[in-house]
Amino acid sequence: MEKDTILKFNSSIARKKPNNVHQKKPCPFCVTEGLSDILETRDSIILVKNKYPVIEDAFQTVLIETDDCESELSEYSKPHLYKLIRFGVEKWLEIEEQGRYQSVAFFKNHGPLSGGSVRHPHMQIIGFDNVDYRDNLSDDSFDGHEIHSSNGVHLNLSTHPRIGFTEFNIALDDLEKIDQAADYIQKTVHYVVNHFNGRGCSSYNLFFYHWSGKIFTKIVPRYATTPLYVGYGFRQVFSNPHQLIEDVQNRYF
């Protein structure tokens, strides 16, 4: 049963946050010498405490993906892609295993409609003191029409999207196969940015979940949220999902 979870958002801190997605402002992640509270680095990948912790009762970090401000996940070389996903999942699970938090979220915003405020490629890992994101999940959260599978890793088009229309799910049950999951993530993001709906989509979210002994990833193209969901909670899916599935298969597999 879903649980009504309300997080407290500190607007006073939010007003101080840099925003170069919607405004022309300097990038806070490009000058690494100015970064404080660095937790760990791996080549150009840097994990830092979030300087602007807008969510109360939470431990908030930022994972800076690369030193190339204009790059994007779909463009990374395979070595860098694999290193990034391995590092991010490793740090996420490490924080989870500390047992200090009710749950730990790992996600990425990209583009003006994703909810992010900084263009520089980054992800976030947040440990919540009092809420568990899994309270609002069920097994059908990751059900879908299969697009492709390889080495025990599965990519599908969701039949039960969290908001609506189109969400892609990747299921991984063996961390030894994480590079295969990373390949699926990159291919799906590339499709979303360049080909989705015939013209590509400027924004997306990427979410990781630890559920039923597996690691799931959900990729969500972002547009203005449908009013049927905002007002009534009605989720929608495309009436012709196999057309989209065939398009992805023909382009990448």
Residues 58 and 127: beta-carbon distance below 8 Å:
yes
DSSP conformation class of 36: -
N- to C-terminal Cα distance for the chain?
A: 37
Q: Give the pLDDT confidence score for residue 203 in this predicted structure.
A: 96
**In this model, does residue 220 exceed pLDDT 60?**
yes
> Any idea what the Cα angle at residue 177 is, between residues 174 and 183, rounded to 5°?
135
Q: How far is residue 60's CA from residue 24's CA, in Å, rounded to a whole number?
A: 25
**In this model, does residue 1 exceed pLDDT 60?**
no
Q: Give the pLDDT confidence score for residue 2 in this predicted structure.
A: 60
Residues 59 and 101: beta-carbon distance below 8 Å:
yes
Q: Give the pLDDT confidence score for residue 148 in this predicted structure.
A: 98
Q: Give the pLDDT confidence score for residue 4 in this predicted structure.
A: 73
Q: Give the pLDDT confidence score for residue 168 in this predicted structure.
A: 98
Mean pLDDT across the stretch 31-41?
85
Mean pLDDT across the stretch 46-70?
95
Helix (H) / strand (E) element for 228: namely helix 227-232
Mean pLDDT of the chain: 94
**In this model, does residue 25 exceed pLDDT 70?**
yes
Reported pTM: 0.95
Q: Which residues of 84-112 are buried (b: 16+ CB within 10 A; e: fewer)?
A: bbbbbbebbbebbeeeebebbbbbbbbbe
Q: Nearest Cα to 105, choosing from 139, 76, 137? A: 137
Amino acid at 182: A
In the chain, what percentage of residues exceed pLDDT 70?
98
Residues 181 and 190: beta-carbon distance below 8 Å:
no
**In this model, does residue 56 exceed pLDDT 60?**
yes
Give 227-237 pLDDT, tens digit per residue. Answer: 999 999 999 99
Q: Is 14 helix (H, G, I), strand (E, B) or coil?
A: helix
Largest CA distance in the chain: 51
- In this structure, are strands 168-172 and 153-158 parallel, antiparallel, or unpaired? antiparallel
Give 167-219 pLDDT, tens digit per residue. Answer: 999 999 999 999 999 999 999 999 999 999 999 999 999 999 999 999 999 99
In the chain, what percentage of residues exceed pLDDT 90?
85
How many residues comprise the chain?
253
Residues 122 and 65: beta-carbon distance below 8 Å:
yes
Q: Is 144 helix (H, G, I), strand (E, B) or coil?
A: strand
Q: Give the pLDDT confidence score for residue 119 in this predicted structure.
A: 87
Q: Which two tokens stand for residue 142?
A: 């990751």
- In this structure, are strands 38-42 and 103-110 parallel, antiparallel, or unpaired? unpaired
